[in-house]
Chain A
Amino acid sequence: MERDVNQALAREFGLNAEEYNRVLEIMGRTPSFTELGVFSVMWSEHCSYKSSRVWLKQLPTKAPWVIHGPGENAGVVAIGDGLAAIFKMESHNHPSFIEPYQGAATGVGGILRDVFTMGARPIANLNALRFGSPDNARTRRIVDGVVRGIGGYGNCVGVPTVGGEINFHPAYDGNPLVNAMTVGIAPTDRIFLSAAAGIGNPVVYVGSKTGRDGIHGATMASAEFDANSEEKRPTVQVGDPFTEKLLIEACLELMATDAIVAIQDMGAAGLTSSSVEMAGKGGVGIELNLDNVPARETGMTAYEFMLSESQERMLMVLKPEREAVARAIFEKWDLDFSIIGYITDTGRITVRHQGEIKADIPLAPLNDQAPLYTRPTVETPKQEQLNAARIEDRLGLTAGLRKLLACPDLCSRAWVWDQYDSTVGGQTVKRPGAADAAVVKLEGLKRALALTTDCTPRYCLADPEMGGMQAVAEAWRNLTAVGARPLAITDNMNFGNPEKPEIMGQFAAAIRGMAAACEALDFPVVSGNVSLYNETEGKGILPTPAIGGLGVLEDAAQAVGYGLPSWLDIVVIGKTQGWLGQSLWLREINGREDGAPPPVDLAVERANGDFVRSRILSGEIRACHDVSDGGLLVAVAEMAMASGVGARLSAHPRDVPGHAYWFGEDQGRYVVAVPDAASFIRTSEAAGVPAVRIGVSGGGDLTLPDGGTISIETLRADHAGFFPAWMNGDNRS
């Protein structure tokens, strides 16, 4: 079972020659098989962030309301009323390709644990999903499995799934993205951290038993796929949401006592990363006896115990005199509870198994001397700005709108949402499809959180810096559009192979754009996750820096949705120049994916958003929708479909071609419904914010400026068609 340790084995484990030499130097001898396993997972891209760390440091992470930024299990921000929101987004891309249901399910489970391990009760889940082309035979099976997996896990643990996004693109054919986000709530003075302390304190294992699941998952998450990936199936973990639910309740019950010194979930690289990180952060040593680890299978080796990624497990350091209290709680919930080691003053991790020392590694160099690469970068060449007047409109407004609303990237996601329990907890104020951001109230309080996930990968491919900036700006905009004050983001950086300079260049540029937007919008990054090597047979995904945004509303009753009420004026806020480069209209109607993406002007973004928010909170704006994919006309149609109320739109200005005006994707814009456009526009002009009345709401039809009329029923039918038809289609395709 245990093989000879040498350079060749190290390479198999994902360590290059230089990294292996560093291991030899640190150890002063040839490492044991188990030790090599520990180094390989701790120094994997997934755990060490060795390619991305130098760039991530550029992101703003501080604000007066930030309690804990990146570096903890999840980010923590103060939200008022003595409470903190704890949140993070994390990828489970590779496992979801290999086994979509379990990959997605365990992705949800993992991110939930990151949040409740800090003392928070999870109150909402979101997920950002990217799939291959619907025409690819595999995509449907992956979508079906991922959606079932997310629902299967989230519904069972009783955390509402309230939002997210889905894109399709052939670039994800062999590498879908499953990014799951969890938001939890805890009192600001009851946040639990992972730094171990107290020499002699017991190290306690709780949760499910350990099996051989997912061994080397962390290194799998850091390797490209090839045609043989299917053979890697045995390493996929299986989720047990029922045990997770018990674990949540038991941990929160224990956290209400004073028994816990430190706590950490066992995620990627399981017992290894949790014990190494806890001891490392605390500057102490740790001794583990694997004979005491609850095992699900017989004959497991030290290596397997240390690297297993069995789900629903946590590691805690307890105050010794509180052991009995803790044990009683876990026994009440029928969960395994076992003392598997102690905190020591050696500064080393020492692992014993069946009377032998199987690993003995100094922690400081294991952590501090982890590889760090400043990999070469190449900038993405800028694309030219397209001249809208030279792009022909073959379809006209009516047919163009109908085609866009029916396309996979814009059609109704109801088929997906309807499989996620969005109401459990009884606090969901805005469900999916009702508003630009989900709104979840805090139990017993007026206060509510607004939540969103955003990224426009096609912009990121064309211009990674602008794309990164746009992703952050759109998250900020979506929170603003419900009336929330945006507070912070979590980022999930999904990119291709970082060893390719053009991919690393995408990464660096996206970070630059994100950093600028975070700075300008007071919207720091408080947690995140990097997923690299998202390639199949050398073909990379679109660069996808998915942003999870969180904002706060003092009073949930002030939240607005985008359903259009009757007999109001419709006003667009922000300048409409008619930007068609990288627009969905250009792709879906003209079959072109070119041009520079729409630029984001951060000062304008901020001014427009701050104005919109103030008018939502004053009660003047009755409905609000940001203008994004598909442009202005799609935004109005979505508002009309949401409420079933139609609108009559006015003629567009003469200096912009009609198709560019109505389908262009200029940034920083919102469509709002207000009682009196004239007075509203006077206020906006005084604030220096451009606003134009574009129509009036009412009736059951959408009447376009060119005279075309479509009933809301027809729009809804166009919009709703794709998913059910596609998913219920012939299994053989």
Chain B
Amino acid sequence: MKAGIVVFPGINRERDMAIALEQSSGEKPRMIWHKETDLSGLDLVVIPGGFSFGDYLRCGAMAARSPVMAAIHAHATRGGYILGVCNGFQILTEAGLLPGALLRNAALRFLSMDCQLTVERADTVFTKRYQKGQTFRSVMAHGDGNFFADDATLDRLEGEGLVAFRYAGENLNGSARAIAGVYSPNLRVLGLMPHPEDLVDPLMGGTDGKPLFDALAAA
């Protein structure tokens, strides 16, 4: 599918994301500056990690209200695919495209380390190259990855199968019900905190993140 990466000022994992997308699809993604408003021709819009607008005020708050977001809302309404990773996930929750919010890590420290993720369902466009219940390795690098939603929302997310990934083993950032990623109701918008794009090459320590990009490339 045709992919584009949205670049807000302060985003810093757009190059990692471009490498991962291109490696699986053979096609360079379009880089979209946050002041652009035309996303036509794109099947997948990716919001990568970083510190958009310095993450001042709240992580993702300012980005969620910048010009390109109207186009991203429209893309979502059209049924387009959206992937938000780390700051991208925070931005999607701030923009109301995904439920919940990301609070400061429970231990109040930035966490940069490997983690294990459990795949909650393997029938979405993002996860069909994984197995349901499978765990895979990913890299987390965030200060605010502590997923929060009220109990009713959490029950609904679980009831409707909208939890994408959970942390297996220790739930280091304190996320509610160990949730690492969630879907929109139509399963076309995915947000997650860890970085599958940083494990797509054996040289960097593994390829556990690659199936996600392979699946997107084939869709």
Contact = CB atoms under 8 A, between A and B. Distances in A.
Please determine if A and B sit in direct contact within the complex, based on CB atoms under 8 angstroms apart: yes
Interface stretch (A239-247, A615-623, A713-721): A239-247
A452 interface: no
B120 to A, nearest CB: 24
Contacts of B139: 423
Contacts of B200: 426
Given A425-B16, A428-B204, A246 B112 contact: no
A422 interface: yes
Interface in B165-219: 195, 197-198, 200-201, 203-205
Interface residues of A, number: 34
A424 to B, nearest CB: 6
A429 B19 CA distance: 15
Contacts of B43: none
Contacts of A151: 110
Contacts of A683: none
Nearest to B112: A421
A536 to B, nearest CB: 29
B167 to A, nearest CB: 15
B203 A557 contact: yes
A388 interface: no
Among A417, A418, A421, A422, residue most surrounded by chain B Cβ atoms (within 10 Å)? A421
Given A246-B9, A334-B9, A418-B113, A423 B195 contact: yes
A301 interface: no
B89 to A, nearest CB: 16
Contact of B16 (A246, A426, A556): A426
B9 A424 contact: no
A441 to B, nearest CB: 7
Given A240-B54, A425-B16, A426-B20, A246 B198 contact: no
B111 interface: yes
B124 interface: no
Given A417-B112, A441-B203, A426 B141 contact: no
A556 B16 CA distance: 17
Contacts of A426: 13, 15-16, 19-20, 197-198, 200-201, 204
B135 interface: no
A591 B55 CA distance: 48
A420 interface: yes
Among A155, A428, A443, A556, residue most surrounded by chain B Cβ atoms (within 10 Å)? A155
B50 interface: yes
B79 interface: no
B130 interface: no
Contacts of B56: 242
Contacts of A420: 110, 112
Among B9, B20, B54, B112, residue most surrounded by chain A Cβ atoms (within 10 Å)? B112
Nearest to A555: B203
Given A156-B51, A426-B15, A429-B203, A242 B110 contact: no
Contacts of B19: 426, 443
A245 B12 contact: yes
Interface in A411-436: 417-429, 431
A155 B110 contact: yes
B10 interface: yes
B12 A443 contact: no
A242 B111 contact: no
A592 to B, nearest CB: 37
Nearest to A159: B12
Among A418, A422, A423, A428, residue most surrounded by chain B Cβ atoms (within 10 Å)? A423
Given A156-B12, A245-B12, A245-B51, 15 more contacts: A152-B110, A156-B51, A156-B54, A156-B55, A241-B51, A241-B54, A245-B9, A418-B109, A418-B110, A418-B112, A419-B112, A424-B12, A424-B49, A426-B20, A426-B197
